[in-house]
Structure 1
Amino acid sequence: MDFHESDEHRDLRAAVAAIAKRFGPDYYVEHARSRTPCTELWKALGDAGFIGVSVPEEYGGGGGGLVELSMVCEEIAAQGTPLLLLLVSAAISAEVIADFGSEELKKRWLPGLAAGSTKVVFAITEPDAGSNTHKLTTTARRVGDEWVVTGTKHYISGVDEAEALLLVARTGSTDDGTAALSLFVVPTDAPGLVATPLPVDVMLPEKQFVLHFDDVRLPATALVGEEGAGFRQVFRGLNPERITGAALCVGVARHVLAQAARYAQERQVWGRPIGTHQGVAHPLAKARIETELAALMIRKAAWLHDRGEPAGEASNMAKYAAAEAALAAVDAAVQTHGGNGLASEYGLLPYWGLARLLRIAPVNREMILNHVAQHGLGLPRSY
């Protein structure tokens, strides 16, 4: 067990941080408030090779793994510029296509994903299924040499920024009556696909959408991997999403704690910095402890995933711990600023919105507790 990062990893963190720092929290907060994509930052990271750090080298990527991608996510967030679409385009879509896609799909999509010039978002959530993937009703049926897709998806991030989406659809039923799922790459301009903005009050650069598939026709080559094997393929992508989401949370926590610590040193009341008071210092210290603990679990989960070891429980634990830590850190930072914590000048509330979202998605804390109770403690399934 070695807790020293390699020189390569330290250099990776420093290079990513240097790019993100050029943009900084003012840039992110402005885009979060106006709900416009952080296109310039994404391009800068893509041009430097960091969007595709985990894409295989033969398709133009960096050839790294989830360890490296999680470092990218953490460091950009630590500079105040978290990018939510890294979780879906780089962590889910690129990984699933690289692992299960045909050579044709890999050559078509991975070079753009590696360069950051292409985004492929993820479409699984449905309004009536929630966390119960077996109840998905969006259907893809085989008609001759094509697939025809009908159904609805809900809360799909970044469709307006993407060239395609990785769709989870029902293609039949298993012997026990549950859904047989398959994955498809669907261009966002496919005829019959209608994307409707879904208004949310949280301040994010990335927009949410409802998708309607009205007999969307896809070529047979759009299928990713084997028909009916989608459930297994999906979970190959969901662990990376949880780990990178956790890394984003740890980065957000680092950013707001650094801002709060500076404020607590500079702000003086009764002749001395407010950080000298334990009522201010202890919540920040507690949040830092929780952030560091979450960071350790992220490294373990990413390490396991990259080595092909079972990583489900560690990924869930990392996501749970990091979301809790990020929320606690933002809350402590707001409290440290007092009334200024709500002032636009200090730009803290967009980070609270992102952290609160990541406590719910991509898997909510209650389902994580269910998973740990069942698989970690051997308790009866509760749902």
Structure 2
Amino acid sequence: MSTYTESDERLELRKAVRSLASAYGREYFTEKARSGEKTTELWLEIGKQGFLGTNLPEEYGGGGGGIGDTAAVCEELAAQGCPLLLMVVSPAICGTIIGRYGTEAQKQKWLPGICDGTGTMAFAITEPDAGTNTHKITTTGRKDGDEWVLNGRKVWISGIDEADHVLVVARVTDDGSGRVKPVLFVVPTDAPGFEAHPIPMEIVSPERQFQVFLDDVRLPADAVVGNEDGGLDQLFAGLNPERIMAASFSTGLARFALDKATAYVKEREVWGVPIGSHQGLAHPLAQSKIEIELARLMTQKAAALYDAGLDSEAGEAANMAKYAAAEAACDAADRAVQAHGGNGITQEYGVAGLLVAARAGRIAPVSREMILNYIGMHSLGLPKSY
């Protein structure tokens, strides 16, 4: 009989990240969020310790590992109360795409900063009228001599105020088929014609969301990452890691919520016994433990498939992992609030804020409904429903 375990190196990585993140903790994270400050010290420390670019090549400052390593870092940060969304965006999406499709000059220019945290890169694909349908994006790039000119609008773009550059998905031609021909452009966030406006959010996080406007933004030819005729393959090189990272983000949040709830029900006594001795509280928390571990296993499977170069199989597993992890996180956050009773909705105990954070996982980066569409069509062979 064999059991599934991660490698010793991965377990040591988790231990090291857990130790670093616990020195900061949830109180640090929420204090920064509520005061409008950034978690820059933590971000740069993660980079300094080599945890930001674990999936990127060593010659550019990375760890030479896979997306499974970066997902583990993301999960452990969240499990200590410090869920950093830019972990999903900068090293996992942007770093992966540049690492796979960028020129040597582009890798040397952008990957070291992504790895050490000094050159964080955002990612812009979502648009107000396209939503999940990337075939309908209207941000356009046109050639003008040796330059490119970008025009369009993006929404729900994370961390623009912390990024030096943003990797923008634009279409360059429309052959009348309605199919998008995506091209990836690295755009400086201080470029003339580039504007970003924050979106007020209920979520308690120092990382902000933005609407982005591109008005005749001029870029040099080498701003294009990959082949301008490369199509969707280049884009999905970053989107499968995004789903894997989102799953780890959710499982980390779920673990944090469950740990908080478990500690509370062990200590809180009513009628002379800890409330955790009652099945009405014990069973929901036990369910969450099961759901979290199942989601973690699927996430690790998805990462292993992706790191093995099995993109098709990884796509299915990544979607399943993201779905399972978001559901586990929502359940764990809700159960944590309920276990705390009235204390669960106070700032002092710090669990109510997890409700919104966990709920976002059912929506972004792809909704659970679109995942169900994907599984129905691609895994079960059902007719396309949209």
Out of 357, 365, 368, the residue aligned to residue 368 of structure 2 is 365
Q: Which moved more, 1:347-356 or 1:218-227?
A: 347-356
1:292-329 Cα offsets, whole Å, 9 max, x none, are 00000001000000000121110000000000000100
Equivalent in the alignment of 2:59 = 58
Equivalent in the alignment of 1:247 = 248
Using the alignment, how far apart are the partners of 1:357 and 1:338 within structure 2?
A: 23
1:1-20 → structure 2 map (5 Å cutoff): 3-20=4-21
What amino acid maps onto 1:338 in structure 2?
A: G
Equivalent in the alignment of 1:98 = 99
Contact 1:70–1:244 at 8 Å: present in 2 too? Answer: yes
What amino acid maps onto 1:36 in structure 2?
A: E
1:326-382 Cα offsets, whole Å, 9 max, x none, are 010010000000000001101112322221112100000000000000000000100
Q: Do residues 337 (structure 1) and 340 (structure 2) align?
A: yes
Distance 1:350 1:31, change over 3 A: farther
Equivalent in the alignment of 1:314 = 317
Contact 1:28–1:38 at 8 Å: present in 2 too? Answer: yes
Distance 1:32 1:358, change over 3 A: farther
Using the alignment, how far apart are the partners of 1:307 and 1:140 within structure 2?
A: 34
The alpha carbon displacement at 1:180 in A equals 1.2
CA RMSD of aligned residues (A): 1.1
What amino acid maps onto 1:102 in structure 2?
A: T
Using the alignment, how far apart are the partners of 1:88 and 1:39 within structure 2?
A: 16
What amino acid maps onto 1:314 in structure 2?
A: A
Using the alignment, how far apart are the partners of 1:366 and 1:328 within structure 2?
A: 17
Q: Which moved more, 1:167-176 or 1:288-297?
A: 167-176
Using the alignment, how far apart are the partners of 1:156 and 1:36 within structure 2?
A: 18
Equivalent in the alignment of 1:171 = 172
Q: Which moved more, 1:167-176 or 1:39-48?
A: 167-176
Q: Which moved more, 1:32-41 or 1:144-153?
A: 32-41
- Structure 1: 4+ residue segments shifted above 6 A: none
What amino acid maps onto 1:321 in structure 2?
A: A
Distance 1:35 1:349, change over 3 A: farther
Using the alignment, how far apart are the partners of 1:2 and 1:57 within structure 2?
A: 31
SS in 2 for 1:360: coil
Using the alignment, how far apart are the partners of 1:272 and 1:9 within structure 2?
A: 39
Percent identity, please. 56
Equivalent in the alignment of 1:277 = 278
Equivalent in the alignment of 1:124 = 125
Equivalent in the alignment of 2:90 = 89
1:130-188 Cα offsets, whole Å, 9 max, x none, are 01111100000000000000010011010000000000001012573322110010010
Equivalent in the alignment of 2:111 = 110
Contact 1:35–1:207 at 8 Å: present in 2 too? Answer: no
Using the alignment, how far apart are the partners of 1:180 and 1:81 within structure 2?
A: 37
Equivalent in the alignment of 1:237 = 238
Using the alignment, how far apart are the partners of 1:16 and 1:164 within structure 2?
A: 26
Equivalent in the alignment of 1:159 = 160
SS in 2 for 1:140: strand
Equivalent in the alignment of 1:216 = 217
SS in 2 for 1:292: helix
1:86-126 Cα offsets, whole Å, 9 max, x none, are 00101100000000111111111001111111110100000
Distance 1:35 1:363, change over 3 A: farther
Using the alignment, how far apart are the partners of 1:9 and 1:254 within structure 2?
A: 18
Contact 2:182–2:235 at 8 Å: present in 1 too? Answer: no
Q: Do residues 356 (structure 1) and 355 (structure 2) align?
A: no
Using the alignment, how far apart are the partners of 1:157 and 1:330 within structure 2?
A: 23
Equivalent in the alignment of 1:33 = 34
Distance 1:172 1:2, change over 3 A: farther
Equivalent in the alignment of 2:330 = 327
Contact 1:174–1:180 at 8 Å: present in 2 too? Answer: no
SS in 2 for 1:345: coil
SS in 1 for 2:348: helix
Equivalent in the alignment of 1:346 = 349
What amino acid maps onto 1:20 in structure 2?
A: A
Contact 1:70–1:243 at 8 Å: present in 2 too? Answer: yes
Using the alignment, how far apart are the partners of 1:230 and 1:18 within structure 2?
A: 42
The alpha carbon displacement at 1:230 in A equals 4.2
Contact 2:136–2:178 at 8 Å: present in 1 too? Answer: no
Equivalent in the alignment of 2:76 = 75
Structure 1: 5+ residue stretches without partners: none
Structure 2: 5+ residue stretches without partners: none
Using the alignment, how far apart are the partners of 2:105 and 2:7 within structure 1?
A: 36
1:213-264 Cα offsets, whole Å, 9 max, x none, are 1100000000011113242211110110110110111111111111111100
What amino acid maps onto 1:348 in structure 2?
A: V
Aligned residue pairs total 383
What amino acid maps onto 1:320 in structure 2?
A: Y
The alpha carbon displacement at 1:6 in A equals 2.1
Contact 1:87–1:244 at 8 Å: present in 2 too? Answer: yes
TM-score (ref. length: structure 2): 0.97
Equivalent in the alignment of 1:298 = 299
